[in-house]
């Protein structure tokens, strides 16, 4: 059977919408309050239509002890329901610095178990290989 279990309704309504995801060839370091909260050489680079590119870091490379789940949630018709985390490094806090799609639509499964960070709320350093 060729039918998907959880297809994105956004692509059905707007099949011309494009989202590409590819491995980022380099390292990504995310810090807040002088503390590294994520570091990875396995990030995924997502480019959606005309939006700025977004780096998604694997959960295994994120220091969740520096983050606290938030009650914020949003919905994207192409990716699914996003959950948010706030940074809490002990000395400084900032709301909703990271988001992730815990159960993304089928077309976006590559970003499952990955988090993305807001560049205006944390420091993100992406160094090409």
pLDDT in tens, 89-128: 888 899 999 999 999 999 999 999 999 999 999 999 999 9
Question: Which band of pLDDT confidence, cut at 50, 70 and 90, is reported for residue 4?
Answer: low
Tracing tokens 């491995």 back to the chain, one arrives at: 23
Distance CA 32, CA 125 (A): 12
Given the DSSP bridges, would you call strands 19-23 and 80-88 parallel, antiparallel or unpaired? unpaired
> For the chain, which residues make up each domain, given as ranges?
9-128
Say if CB 37 and CB 9 are below 8 A apart.
no
Distance CA 25, CA 115 (A): 17
pLDDT in tens, 47-94: 999 999 999 999 999 999 999 999 999 999 999 999 999 999 888 899
Distance CA 15, CA 35 (A): 41
For domain 9-128, give the fold. 2.170.150
Answer whether residue 2 shows pLDDT above 60: no
């Amino acid at each position: 059977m060729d039918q998907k279990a959880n297809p994105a309704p956004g692509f059905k309504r707007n099949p011309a919408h494009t989202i590409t995801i590819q491995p980022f060839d380099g390292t990504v370091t995310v810090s807040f309050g002088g503390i590294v909260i994520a570091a990875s050489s396995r990030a995924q680079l997502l480019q959606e239509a005309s939006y700025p590119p977004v780096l998604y870091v694997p959960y295994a490379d994120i220091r969740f002890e520096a983050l606290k789940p938030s009650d914020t949630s949003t919905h994207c018709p192409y990716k699914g329901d996003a959950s948010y985390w706030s940074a809490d490094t002990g000395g400084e806090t900032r709301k909703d610095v990271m988001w992730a799609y815990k159960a993304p639509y089928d077309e976006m499964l590559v970003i499952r178990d990955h988090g993305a960070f807001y560049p205006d709320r944390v420091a993100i350093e992406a160094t090409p290989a």
